[in-house]
Amino acid sequence: MGKRTHATLDYYNTPPAMCLRCGHLCDAATLVGKGGSPCPGDVTVCIACAHVMAFDKRLRLRDLTAAEIKEVKQDDKVTAVRCGILLKIATDPHWGGEKKRGRAQ
């Protein structure tokens, strides 16, 4: 997992995996609120649709457990990231999410 920098954000390549909700290819992660590379159990948010998932032990994407869902709902950082992505989806017609694929709910 190589560390790369884009603008002012550090991000890491992750094993290519599809978002469990929209099918967007997720192959990198930007770290929020902690240092180091992504670890198993870390929460991640799909950049295309704001779906919240976690990395499994091989850094592939998995659904959250019931306990993790409860925890994530109280995490301001996750909420802030989700809000930013949802705002982008709502205001940018070129954003690569469900709307672009005609799968809006």
Closer to Zn ion by Cβ: residue 48 or 59: 48
At its nearest, how many Å lie between Zn ion and the CB of residue 3? 24
Closest to 78 in 3D by CA, of 33, 37, 38: 33
Please give the Cα distance from 76 to 96 (Å, whole number). Answer: 24
Smallest distance, Å, CB 51 to Zn ion? Answer: 5
Does residue 48 interact with Zn ion by CB under 5 A? yes
Tell me the pairing of strands 52-55 and 43-45. antiparallel
Residues in contact with Zn ion by CB under 5 A are: 19, 21-22, 24, 46, 48-49, 51
